[in-house]
Structure 1
């Protein structure tokens, strides 16, 4: 049975991998449907697929870290930095650009995973 310290990495890893696939899997179809803008430039397609690669790589690291004890600490630090950074960016956007009905639930999830990761680092990391 998976304990909660590993569950944080597993769940956030799966969610981020799925988000990456959504962003880059088929951007000429997904982005107009999901976000309302056309993706026609090669550079924008390249950027979205690069984001997909980042999300898939980082998410896979978290999933592996949820099963491999030697990787747990590094994966959790990476998760906290990612979730803290992305939620900070969304908060800045909310303040300057307004509330996004589509991404506000994502912000709450990111803050949840950020806090959960910090809690796990404090609870399960012994400083000797």
Structure 2
């Protein structure tokens, strides 16, 4: 079975865009329901919506890279850096703060996408 090289970018984009929307669309409702903390400070709302913007921008770039072959390589490098960076942050948190039942599955997926992206960069050189 041949897996299209764009599938990594497409799946990464969909997941990250959805995560961004969860973080930033209605933080005063979603965060208490999902993570158990209230979002009342303007600065926290602003920060969560900024994270949403980052996630949306990066996810849209990955979608663009999946559709436009001229941007595939750069988008895949971006995907690898994002997934590797967020995985590293979660690993540091796990070591210092303990295992998160909610975010451990996310860590596993991020590591898989990181490895898959590295594999694609090696397989489909620029």
TM interval, shorter chain, is: over 0.9
Partner of 1:122: 122
Runs of 4+ displaced beyond 6 Å: none
2:89 is aligned with 1:83: no
Determine the C-alpha separation between the residues in 2 that align with 1:53 and 1:115: 25
Q: For the aligned residues, what is the CA RMSD?
A: 1.1
2:74 is aligned with 1:74: yes
**Please, which runs of 5 or more residues in structure 2 have no aligned partner?**
none
Q: C-alpha deviations, 1:62-116, integer Å up to 9, x for none?
A: 0111110000000000000000000000000000000000000000000000000
Partner of 1:6: 6
Deviation for aligned residue 1:4 = 2.5
- The DSSP-based 3-state class of the residue aligned with 1:39 is coil
**Please, which runs of 5 or more residues in structure 1 have no aligned partner?**
none
Partner of 1:58: 58
Q: Under a length normalisation based on structure 1, what TM-score does the superposition of the two structures give?
A: 0.95
Q: How many residues align?
A: 125
